[in-house]
Structure 1
Amino acid sequence: MTETLEQLRRKLARERTARLEAERLLEEKSDELYESLMHVQSSETLLRSALSSMYDGLLLTNQYHEVILANDQMCEIYSGQASLFKKGTKLEGAFDELLGHPDYRAMLEQSQTKASFRIQLADQRTVSVGVRFTREGFIASTHRDITQLLENEEERRRLLADLMRAQRMETIGRMSGTIAHDFNNIIASIKGYAGFLEEDLADDADMLDSAQRILAAAEKAERLIQQILEIGNQQQAPRHRVSLIPVIEESLDMFVHTLPDGADVEFDPPDEPIWVEANETRLGQLFMNLLTNARRAMIGRTGRLGIFFDCFDRLDLTSTPNETPSFPQGQISGAHSGQIVFDTPCVRVTLVDQGCGIEPELIERIFEMYVTTREDGSHGGVGMSSVADIAADYGGGVRITSALGSGTAVEIALPLAKEQRLRAPEQRSSNPQDGGSADVLLVDDDENVGEMLRQTLERAGITAEYHSKPQAALDLLLEDHRRWKVVVSDQIMPKLRGSDIFARLREAGIDIPFILCSAQIDPGSGEIQDWLQDDFIGKPVDGEELLDKVRRYL
């Protein structure tokens, strides 16, 4: 019994010793355990922070499509479905944007390990998705909203296309100067000699009519060349008082033969002329663009294109009623550009077609460059942009109103010209010899033009000496400039320009009057000096203008 009690005491002692050792060990390891727990918590915090700072959305699911992990970006990208991305949520049947995508289903069916595709959301945003199966059997997907990226890329392509168009226009501009110079010389000769025929055949009605038709054709060709210069070089066309009705009539003459079958034109001009401050070539371009648009809209339809006029002391394009026949009514859309409110007298020209109309989404951008109503993108999309620019240049504005399937109305408003102060014309004698014996030195490398100008002057009683070589003419002037009272020179000539001759004369102290002729420079552009403001003649040279400028120095 005594031995048994001793054994029990030793056993209790051993247990106490073991307990004390356990307590000591626990106390020693508690610091390490605490540090380990802190490390785990810190790692989880870092992980969550890393996931939240990702640019892409991250979604991790198991093979049953139950959410294991989703970061904040997923909730931002799919903001209307943020509640789906909580841990444990089953996505099958609820997140069809991903799980119902054909490429995702194909990946599952074909046991592929990864796939990439795009999701088009209902709000027109685009999300790029990359999906991968992990070795642990999870499905990880990244989601990135690339809507802005795609828009930027589209803008980059558009700007690149605009740059290429601008470079082509620059090339055309450089070419047009040379082309215009050569053609203007040809036209000048035709106009000059046709003018001589007009004078000489005054008693022959049939021949006189033929000569006048030649003159009219040459003048039309002259305007076309000027238009090439304006479009190609973007130079500012000179403006003056223009009668609006003849400009539109001329555009109609060229347009009416191109109308589709079943379409006709109603043109209702006022009895009194309408004058505006503009350039007839650019106005013709404006109305030709509008007529061309109307013709395309009426292809395959029957109906009428109407052109109507109203004059106002005050006009607001957006609120002043337009009672033009066939003006679009009902479900309409519209846009405007340029000056809208006019507090001074103005004219409103309304073109109404009964064509196919313009879609509301497109009409909001109708005045942007390269926007076209053509589904195939043909015809460049420059027409309405050009119309708006020309109207704005002359202080005007444009409003367009359209009803899809019914037709379109375009209103052009322009300020009326102020009363023109005309200089009284000089009195001329019917006897050419009364013009005196003034001497003019003509310099032009084109002999046809030079001879035509010489005859123009001599028919008016002004003697002229013509030289086709600019250097020879300069040498004569430096030798004895007193033989002539005025010099008339072409500008664009080989080796020596007209402005170079002028500069050499001034360097030599010779102050002879100098008149410059050219189709390629604008006297108001700074390209020539102030001394030519009143002594510049555009080519083709108008005979009456030449005589007026020369006579000032006789």
Structure 2
Amino acid sequence: FEFIHPEFHEIVRRRLQTIIESRIVLPPVEQRLLRRDGSVVDVEVLALPFETEGGVTLQVTARDITQRRIAEAEREALEAALRQSQKLEAVGTLAGGIAHDFNNILSAIVGNTRLLLEDLSEAHPGWRSVKEIRSATHRARDLVKRLMAFSRQQESQRSAIPLAPLITEVQHMLRATIPAGIELTVRVPPDTPTILADATQIHQVLLNLCTNAWQAMPTNTGRIEISVTTLSEEAARAQSGTPLHGASHYVCIEVRDNGAGMSSETLEHIYEPFFTTKQPGEGSGLGLPVVHGIVQTHKGAIAVTSRPGEGTSFFVYLPACEAPPASFESAQRAVMRGTEQHVLYIDDEEPLVFLVQRTLERAGYRCTGEMNTARAIEIVRQAPDSFDLVITDLNMPGMSGLDVARELLMIRRDLPVVITTGYVRAPDVAAARDLGVRDVILKPDTIDELAMIVQKNLTGNR
């Protein structure tokens, strides 16, 4: 018994007794043996009894199954990863379907609040309430965008964005979810330059890093610090250990915590998909791989320092942008009124058709609204030169927006056509461009920026 692992002593003893007393052959059993150097080896053992002059003799065969165990573990890990991937794909599909209907609702709210704000003076008692409604719908819109970005059904849309308001939004969102015993501080210098980025994806990066930070605090007490610094290209390259290039300056976002920290062995695997140190059911192992992928696509870099018991610091380096942040309000003021140009709007949602007609008529355009795609195509066929622009929804019963665009462009090839949708997918954008569609725009941005969209496409700008 000296080579049998102690945890198997009783099992082996009972099996030997059964084999010797009953003179039977039992099926092979998996157990552990001890090598002479004390290391453990997994084996499959088969004992065959033989009658001899001295009594029962056993022929024992032990086969090393270490490689089989490793292969089984790898297969189980791959199967678990596949199941997780399938779950995420299902979530993405579900999110895409919900987003269309949800954004239709948001579009109606956004558009009507916009009309209300135009009707009310700031002195009106209801003006502040309408502003709050509009602000809430914008947050809901951004939430849908983040969901679609995670499910990879939303195209990345980059613009010059200031970090301070984005980090403040992350701070507010985290404050509502993290334990009260965790202190969350933010430091963004007022002279921090903008970054050319997708705000939704950078929001996701910060949310993932901060969520990991507070989950590394088992007692639900501690401190998370988000701080921003601006570095030259040379300094950013030296600090990140990455050959950064393409920008004269980089913005470094540091997320520091005083949690449990990580060992050097763990740090080697943190960006591997499905790798996690959390308990089963507590994490997918996709948070940091997603962060790493987003930073890479933004031509940035990510670095980490950590020691067990001393906390962790993540450093995200993103190219600074010389352009000022995009201002929606100033852009709106710059929009010129229409001069009775005729727009055809096609959507199967009656509230949106009514809203778009009112919005465009206020902006100086004539607008014909139509919910039936076949009837809309026939209207254009009867008078192809009477319309200056067509805006059509993508997802409609009977015919999609792509089908409608194809028919309309066969009638009049130079007719400007714009497609709106609850979620913008890369395949839809590619198909629309192949057809000659001018633009594919996300709802409810369509309503909020309707006058700009019409003006841009009527003047031939893309």
User: TM tier, shorter chain?
Assistant: 0.7 to 0.9
What secondary structure does 1:529 align onto?
helix
The aligned residue for residue 30 of structure 2 is 117
Structure 2 counterpart of 1:340, which letter? T
Pick one of 58, 61, 65 that aligns with 1:139. 58
Superposition deviation, residue 494 in structure 1: 0.8
2:406 to 482, 496, 503: 503
DSSP-derived class of the 2:313 partner: strand
Q: Secondary structure at the match of 2:191?
A: coil
- In 2, are the aligned partners of 1:99 and 1:105 still within 8 Å (CA)? no
What is the correspondence of 1:84-103 to structure 2 with a 5 Å cutoff?
Answer: 95=3, 101-103=9-11
What is the Cα deviation at residue 292 of structure 1? 1.4
1:485 counterpart = 2:393:
no
Number of residue equivalences: 442
Per-residue CA deviation, residues 59-103 of structure 1 (Å, 9 max, x unaligned), is xxxxxxxxxxxxxxxxxxxxxxxxxxxxxxxxx75x455998443
Which of 277, 280, 291 is the equivalent residue of 2:196?
A: 277
Of the structure 1 ranges 340-349 and 273-282, higher mean CA displacement relative to structure 2 is found in: 340-349
2:121 aligned to which of 198, 202, 205: 202
SS in 2 for 1:527: helix
Q: Structure 1, residues 408-430: CA drift from partner, whole Å, max 9, x if none?
A: 2222222223547999x889789
Structure 1 residues 415, 179: CA separation in 2 closer, same or farther (over 3 Å shift)?
same
Deviation at 1:254, TM superposition (A): 0.9
Counterpart-to-counterpart distance in 1, 2:265 and 2:413: 66
Equivalent residue for 2:356? 453
Displacement after TM superposition at 1:519 (Å): 2.7
Contact 1:398 1:413 in 2 (8 A): yes
Q: 1:454 to 1:348 in 2, by over 3 A?
A: same
Distance 2:131 2:41 in 1: 65
Matched residues, percent identical? 28
Provide closer, same or farther for how the CA distance between residues 527 and 148 of structure 1 changes in structure 2, counting only shifts above 3 A: farther
Q: Is the 8 A contact 1:537 1:545 kept in 2?
A: no
Amino acid at match of 1:460: A
Residues 186 and 225, structure 2, Cα contact 8 Å, conserved in 1: yes
Q: Secondary structure at the match of 1:277?
A: strand
> Secondary structure in 2 aligned to 1:408?
strand
Match of 2:184 among 265, 278, 284: 265
Whole-angstrom CA distance in 1 between matches of 2:417 and 2:145: 24
Q: Which residue of 2 aligns with 1:326?
A: none
For residues 482 and 261 of structure 1, what CA distance do their matches in structure 2 show?
64
User: Is there any run of 5+ residues in structure 1 with no aligned partner, and where?
Assistant: 1-91, 322-338
Superposition TM-score, scaled by structure 2 size: 0.85
Q: Quickly say closer, same or farther: Cα 1:378–1:426, change in 2 above 3 A.
A: closer
- Alignment of 1:375 with 2:279, yes or no, is yes
SS of equivalent residue, structure 1 residue 175? helix
Q: For residues 175-324 of structure 1, what are the structure 2 equivalents within 5 Å?
A: 175-204=94-123, 206-314=125-233, 320=239
Q: CA deviation at 1:149?
A: 1.3
Tell me the secondary structure at the aligned position of residue 292 of structure 1.
helix
Distance 2:285 2:333 in 1: 51
Give the whole-Å Cα distance in 1 for the aligned partners of 2:313 and 2:425: 36
Conservation of the 8 A alpha-carbon contact between 2:332 and 2:449: no
Tell me, yes or no, if the aligned pair for 1:397 and 1:413 is still in contact at 8 Å.
Answer: yes
1:387 to 283, 291, 294: 291
Moved more, 397-406 or 462-471: 397-406
**Whole-angstrom distance in 1 between the partners of 2:242 and 2:334:** 50
Q: Distance in 2 between matches of 1:107 and 1:474?
A: 82
Deviations 1:500-524 (A, max 9, x none): 1221123234532211111333467
Larger Rg computed on CA atoms: 1
Distance 1:533 1:141, change over 3 A: farther
SS of residue matched to 2:230? strand
SS in 2 for 1:135: strand
Structure number with higher relative contact order (C-alpha < 8 Å, ≥ 6 residues apart): 2
Q: Which consecutive unaligned segments of at least 5 residues does structure 2 have?
A: none
**Partner Cα separation in structure 1 for residue 42 and residue 402 of structure 2:** 61
What secondary structure is seen at the aligned counterpart in 2 of 1:349? strand
Q: Deviations over 1:129-156 (max 9, x none)?
A: 2233332344322222222211211221
